[in-house]
Structure 1
Amino acid sequence: MSIQTDQIVELTPRSVPAVSYHDSAESEGTSGQASVNAPSHVQQLPPVDGGFHAWAFLGAAFFIEALVWGFPDAFGVFLDAYLADPIYTSQHNASSLIPLIGPISSGIIYCVAPFITPLINRYPSYRRPAMYIGLLVCWASLFGASYTTKVTTLVALQGVLYALGSALLYFPSLSYLAEWFINLRGFANGVLFAGTGVGGIVLPLTISRLLSAYGVNVTVRILSVAMVVLLLPLLPLVKGRLPVGYNAVNAEMRPVPRGSAASARSWMRSIHFWVLMAANTIHGFAYFVPLLWLPTFASSLNLSTTKSSATITVFHTGSFLGRLLMGYLSDRTANCLLLGLGSLLATSVTTFVLWGVCSTNLAGLLAFSMMFGFFAGNWPSLWSGFGKVLTISDPTLSMTLFGMLLFSRGLGNIASTPISSALTGISSSSPSQAISGSKSVHFGSGFDVAGGRFSTTIVYVGTCFAGAGIILMCGWVVDLYRLSRSHNLS
């Protein structure tokens, strides 16, 4: 959102002396210069794309991202502990209900996005209270889960309630990013989303050690307290840059729609929007499949549990690096469709070659994990670049678009488990134990592992990414056609 230096935003009701603010960003292309001759009653807004407040916000939001998404991603470590405890496994349907906790948690966070973002946009004054409430709910869900031995209660607390608290904590913090970063928004998105990679690296290792020392219940209790201790001091840093309006009557907070609903509705007629949504949805249906089955695939190669878990750690490492790099590049590329196209096609080739052909030993599987994480994991860092045409730097429109993208990605997150289970013919209730007794030492290719059970899954993942790339290619061709046509008319 471009705001000129001579624009004054009234912060207080008319019934009291007004304190006004000047925006320090002269336009979308500036980094935030001070207004030298500003009158004494005018305070300058913090600069965009830099300064203590912007970087402090980004650092705090990074930790929120790491913890909110880290717990669902690390649930596989908890799953082994729960399924090894007869207190839980002796209950009815425990083997099918417990594995759903992680997917339910992450799926709810994804899918509530289009419902919670309109409320955030409409009532921005309630964002910061919502984050404190969300953190409280997250603590209560995990702390309560640490005392229950009933599977259905565990699903409700660690799955559903944790997800709702995480949504209240996560989405308000995400909505502030477009206010603090304009020219560096892609890089800021990359840093923010890289938090998921760090959480995926650190939390499984931490949880595994705690489980060995204290058991599952005490571990969950420790993590619930640690989440509050880590995030509570950071929440004051997660705040908006732009002032929020107030009602002139009794100084009550009123809805402040910054952004045009008509602009969002116009996306329905935009080919760019539908290309982005289609590619993002297909990406989501393929992205989560290797995450689910990599440890199982490693077990089929007769690798130890530690080496099997290393595949996920390496994946998150690649994702962390890819998100940082792609966010940086998206700020310096006029057409991010080309970046996305290259990323998708590289992921498809990586899947067919490194997973399908070369993953016959630990080295090949780790190479696939790293490259797949790097190319497939960097996709969310491109969202702000994709949205340049649609959002026109409006923070509200940016959040609306992110909500839609998260929702379509969440559909794939939810569907990936039943789809991949059907393709492999392996139950997802305990995938690490689904293939046992394989004594083969040598495989001709990754397609041959476990008697070829993963071959269809490999083809499915690689084809999905190739299809998403073709869709982006069509969008790029349409952009080129429109550009050449406009030049001819001029």
Structure 2
Amino acid sequence: MDGMELQLRVSPQDTQHSAPSDTENIVPSNINGTDAFDDIPPNGGYGWVCTFCAFMITVHTWGVNGAWGVILNHFLLHSTFPGATHLDYAFIGGLSISTCLIIGPLVTKTYKTTGTTFTQLLGTALVFAALFGASYATKIWHLFLTQGVCFGIGMGFLYLTSMAVLPPWFSTKRSLAIGIAASGSGVGGLIYNLGAGRAIETLGVDATYRILAFCALGANTFSSLLMKERKEARPATPQRTVNYRELSHFEVFLLILWGVATEFGYIALWYSLPNYASSIGLNPQQGSVAGAIMNLGLVIGRPIVGHASDTFGRITISMMMTALCGLLCFAIWIPAQSYALLLVFAVLVGTVCGTFWGTITPVMAEVVGLNRLPSTFALICLALVIPTTVAEPIALSLVATSGYLSTQVYVACMFILGSVSLWVLRSWKFYELEMKALREREGDVVSSHALAAVPSYFTWVRPRKLFLHGRV
């Protein structure tokens, strides 16, 4: 099939007049290895309530965790815990995220067994206990257990559950809904970066932790009680919590590579910006404002990126935005030696640096289908444990040895690598569409595993497919 015929098959205009496809959330039996089950999402309705709940949960998990950049800068400047090194502090922020991800299989098992409400209320209690307990920390290992491990477990029960519950409510608006929910990390980061910075100056870090604890308790309890799972969306056949056989699919490997590479860059950028501000002579308050402005960019960017990906293709837009983030690091962050230019970089990079978390669920639905999505997402979460743990320590180690320039280059290259993996994945998606069209044209009913059984994975990695124009 030539490029023109393929483009006609996948253009937005054609999809409006053709039978519903996998991208519209009706999972056919012979695509992506999923079993058939008739399920037409409401594409709205109570799904918007769940979107708001997921948004609030993201505000009071990822957003609260985003304040760690300001708290980290305070600890680094004042040596709060005697004997603690910069790497000790850096590991705490990464540990909270890696713990959230590593318990993905446990979270999936819990909410399938006990229900969404119980799982998220459990997470609410753990987040409160972590932040309140951190306010009484007197040794660095206290922070490891509270801010690191306990908060990470609570965030996992809250955030991962909401991200698993939300997609089945939508079809054509799925990326927009996920983008709105994911923008909560930007709203929370904006509020809590500014609020935590001011509270630390006026009330101290201990009181700041208690304020964060009670804010998270109220909002997460309210959201957990309103969040509901679509029972109709459950697949007819039970799925594994984590299916390690997914690693045999090269397209899943490309998703993992995208996540690993961008997390190395995203975590380092997210936590390091306030400290970078101090390194160029700005005061801590200006550093917290820079972190807040980057989170403002997340608020602006994630819904826009989500809507654009629904319109122009989820893999294509994710690839372009990930690449743009790397280019912004090279073009603006490296020469940013003034407060004004740093704020410009912060707001621009904020719109695209969180593309992975804003689009991973819709992209996975395109690649593996809804039936395989939970087990694949759990596998990807496990793969991200190490990157999220060591990303900030690597960044601070590079700063200590050769200054921030090496860190800036490292962060930019990670985003570029992530975009390259999506570029190759985009080629794979075109190949999949070609095979589907060929089967339909020849009237040949082929097994769902036939696509994965092609003689070589690399029959579709060709310049022609890399540069095809189409909506994928």
Q: TM-score, normalised by structure 2?
A: 0.76
| 1:57 equivalent in alignment to 2:59 | no
Q: 1:21 corresponds to which residue?
A: none
Distance 1:150 1:483 in 2: 56
Per-residue CA distance 1:208-237 (angstroms, 9 max, x = gap):
333333322233223322322223233221
Distance 2:393 2:90 in 1: 12
| 1:200 equivalent in alignment to 2:179 | no
- From 391, 396, 405, the equivalent of 1:421 is 396
Matches within 5 A, 1:355-374: 355-356=333-334, 358-374=335-351
Q: 2:405 corresponds to which residue?
A: 455
User: What's the CA shift for 1:195?
Assistant: 0.6
**Which segment is superposed worse, 262-271 or 404-413?**
262-271
Q: 2:14 corresponds to which residue?
A: none
| 1:211 equivalent in alignment to 2:200 | yes
In structure 2, the CA distance between the partners of 1:381 and 1:81, relative to structure 1 (3 Å rule), is closer
- From 221, 241, 258, the equivalent of 1:279 is 258
In structure 2, the CA distance between the partners of 1:188 and 1:424, relative to structure 1 (3 Å rule), is same
Per-residue CA distance 1:409-446 (angstroms, 9 max, x = gap):
443221212322332225xxxxxxxxxxxxxxxxxxxx
- From 373, 376, 379, the equivalent of 1:398 is 373
Q: Give the secondary-structure state (helix, strand or coil) at the position aligned to 2:311.
A: coil
Q: Give the secondary-structure state (helix, strand or coil) at the position aligned to 1:239.
A: coil
Structure (1 or 2) with the larger CA radius of gyration: 1
Matches within 5 A, 1:39-438: 48-51=42-45, 53-82=46-75, 88-90=80-82, 92-93=83-84, 97-113=88-104, 115-120=105-110, 122-123=112-113, 125-242=114-231, 259-261=238-240, 267-333=246-312, 335-356=313-334, 358-394=335-371, 397-425=372-400
Q: 2:445 corresponds to which residue?
A: none
Q: Residue type of the partner of 1:153?
A: H
In structure 2, the CA distance between the partners of 1:325 and 1:284, relative to structure 1 (3 Å rule), is same
Q: 1:432 corresponds to which residue?
A: none
CA RMSD of aligned residues (A): 3.3
Q: Residue type of the partner of 2:152?
A: A
Distance 1:95 1:378 in 2: 28
In structure 2, the CA distance between the partners of 1:173 and 1:388, relative to structure 1 (3 Å rule), is closer
**Which segment is superposed worse, 198-207 or 408-417?**
408-417
Q: Residue type of the partner of 1:421?
A: L
In structure 2, the CA distance between the partners of 1:219 and 1:265, relative to structure 1 (3 Å rule), is closer
Q: Residue type of the partner of 1:290?
A: L
Q: Give the secondary-structure state (helix, strand or coil) at the position aligned to 2:115.
A: helix
In structure 2, the CA distance between the partners of 1:182 and 1:46, relative to structure 1 (3 Å rule), is closer
Distance 1:336 1:47 in 2: 19
Per-residue CA distance 1:293-314 (angstroms, 9 max, x = gap):
3233323332233322222112
CA contact (8 A) 1:275 1:471 kept: yes
Distance 1:320 1:470 in 2: 25
Distance 1:107 1:31 in 2: 30
Q: Residue type of the partner of 1:167?
A: G
CA contact (8 A) 1:182 1:393 kept: no
Distance 2:158 2:111 in 1: 15
**Which segment is superposed worse, 297-306 or 126-135?**
297-306
User: What's the CA shift for 1:373?
Assistant: 1.6
CA contact (8 A) 2:116 2:229 kept: no
Structure 1 runs, 4 residues or longer, greater than 6 Å off: 26-32
Distance 1:77 1:413 in 2: 18
CA contact (8 A) 2:76 2:86 kept: yes
Unaligned runs of 5+ in 1: 1-25, 33-44, 246-255, 427-451
Q: Residue type of the partner of 2:63?
A: G
Distance 1:265 1:408 in 2: 11
Distance 1:263 1:416 in 2: 25
Q: Residue type of the partner of 1:295?
A: P
In structure 2, the CA distance between the partners of 1:377 and 1:96, relative to structure 1 (3 Å rule), is closer
Q: TM-score, normalised by structure 1?
A: 0.74
Identity %: 23
In structure 2, the CA distance between the partners of 1:93 and 1:346, relative to structure 1 (3 Å rule), is closer
In structure 2, the CA distance between the partners of 1:478 and 1:304, relative to structure 1 (3 Å rule), is same
Q: Residue type of the partner of 1:425?
A: A
CA contact (8 A) 1:31 1:49 kept: no
Q: Residue type of the partner of 1:407?
A: L
CA contact (8 A) 1:315 1:372 kept: yes
Q: Residue type of the partner of 2:322?
A: L
CA contact (8 A) 1:74 1:200 kept: yes
CA contact (8 A) 2:274 2:291 kept: yes
Q: Residue type of the partner of 1:341?
A: M
Distance 2:241 2:65 in 1: 36
Per-residue CA distance 1:277-336 (angstroms, 9 max, x = gap):
112211111222222332333233322333222221121111222211111122223x42
User: What's the CA shift for 1:189?
Assistant: 0.8
| 1:465 equivalent in alignment to 2:415 | yes
CA contact (8 A) 1:120 1:172 kept: no
**Which segment is superposed worse, 289-298 or 236-245?**
236-245
CA contact (8 A) 2:91 2:393 kept: no
Distance 1:388 1:225 in 2: 36
Distance 1:100 1:384 in 2: 27
CA contact (8 A) 1:185 1:331 kept: yes
Per-residue CA distance 1:167-191 (angstroms, 9 max, x = gap):
2233222221123222221111101
In structure 2, the CA distance between the partners of 1:139 and 1:381, relative to structure 1 (3 Å rule), is closer
In structure 2, the CA distance between the partners of 1:67 and 1:106, relative to structure 1 (3 Å rule), is same
Distance 1:262 1:316 in 2: 32
